[in-house]
A and B are shown apart, each in its own frame.
Chain A
């Protein structure tokens, strides 16, 4: 319920303050290193383009978790007809997706807070 309400509230807040509350379609607009004491680590893509093409990974799934998806699909193929033996790979892939979503939520929150700071005059870009 709490998560559901936050989904509705984000829409209401975006309607009331469209200049502060970012739309879910907007990319981040601030310098990624702004406000960090030491440089942030870039995200690493492990699976290569050739591997993803070879494994027939859909375009929508070619994200930073693609290597886990390849492992999971390979496991399913190896263990068929007992794909339940690949529960570990599946869980690893879904955990990676969850962490990716958490990172996106953090980026959204950072964008929102920086916008509020700019509006209040606490930050000049």
Chain B
């Protein structure tokens, strides 16, 4: 093995070091609990710009949740979009989640992902119409039940007469 080849191998190995490899940096230096926690709510314009840069959002599109005690610090507001509305033919980095590497997620992503609640699909007919349809069908069925329960049709005749009844039955002769 020549000296040149050894140097080439070393150069490859050095790319795995923490100084060069983005993969190693991402997997070792990030993804700790403290990294998931958002920072404090941005009050000044410079804090706002810093937060937008931190989450990779364009400053014009950056908007944090209201700091009313139920907010999420400086975590940006994203449009809620469930998996069914995302393009299935796009080459996602994580096709199972339809998500790209380092893509910021909606704050309720665990609730609106593909196997959970669907927030984006607009149903035809709408939920209101479906509710009215359900009420209409059930009322119609109940109406039919009520009519048949109260207006029982029958042949205008007395019960069948049997000699074993112990009564005397008469003819009209």
CB-CB nearest in chain A for B151 = A11
Q: Tell me, rounded to whole Å, the shortest Cβ–Cβ distance linking A85 to chain B.
A: 30
* Interface pair A11/B168, CB less than 8 Å apart: no
Given contacts A15-B150, A15-B151, A100-B161, contact A109 B170 (CB under 8 A): no
Residues of B within 8 A of A45 (CB): 163
Q: Bound state CA distance, A40 and B168, in angstroms?
A: 11
Q: Is there an interface contact between B158 and A63, defined as CB atoms closer than 8 Å?
A: no
Determine if B156 and A108 form an interchain contact, defined as CB atoms under 8 angstroms apart.
yes
Q: Assess whether A32 is in contact with B170, with CB atoms less than 8 Å apart.
A: yes
Complex interface: chain A residues within 8 A of B150 (CB): 15
Q: Which residues of B have CB within 8 Å of A106?
A: 172
Query: Which of A23-31, A68-76, A88-96, A114-122 faces chain B?
Result: A23-31
* B160/A63 in contact, CB under 8 A: yes
Contact A14 B152 (CB under 8 A): yes
Q: How far is the CA of A25 from the CA of B158 in the complex (A)?
A: 7
Residues in B whose Cβ lies below 8 Å from that of A105: 155-157
Q: Are A27 and B159 in contact (CB under 8 A)?
A: yes
Q: Chain B nearest CB: distance from A3 CB in Å?
A: 9
Q: Given that A32-B170, A40-B173 are known contacts, is A25 also in contact with B159, CB under 8 Å in the complex?
A: yes
In the complex, what distance in Å separates the CA atom of A105 from the CA atom of B152?
A: 18
In the complex, what distance in Å separates the CA atom of A64 from the CA atom of B168? 12
**Which of B153, B169, B172 is in CB contact (< 8 Å) with A11?**
B153
Q: In the complex, which residues of chain A have a beta carbon less than 8 angstroms from the beta carbon of B171?
A: 40-43, 103
Is A19 part of the binding interface, using a Cβ–Cβ cutoff of 8 Å?
A: no
- The answer to the question of A7 belonging to the interface, with a C-beta cut-off of 8 Å to chain B, is yes
Nearest neighbor of B163 in chain A, beta-carbon distance = A45
Q: With A8-B151, A12-B151, A14-B152 known to touch, is A24 a contact of B158 (CB < 8 Å)?
A: yes
Given the known A-B contacts A10-B153, A11-B153, are A43 and B160 also in contact in the complex, defined by CB atoms under 8 Å? no
Query: Digit string of B136-173 for contact with A (CB within 8 Å is 1, else 0)?
Result: 00000000000000111111111111111000111111
| Residue ID in chain A nearest B148 by CB atoms | A11
Do B156 and A41 touch (CB < 8 A)?
Answer: no
Contact B158 A107 (CB under 8 A): yes
* 12 residue pairs bridging A and B, Cβ less than 8 Å apart: A10-B155, A14-B152, A32-B168, A43-B161, A45-B163, A62-B164, A63-B161, A63-B162, A64-B163, A101-B157, A105-B157, A108-B156
Residues of B that sit less than 8 Å from A by CB: 150-164, 168-173
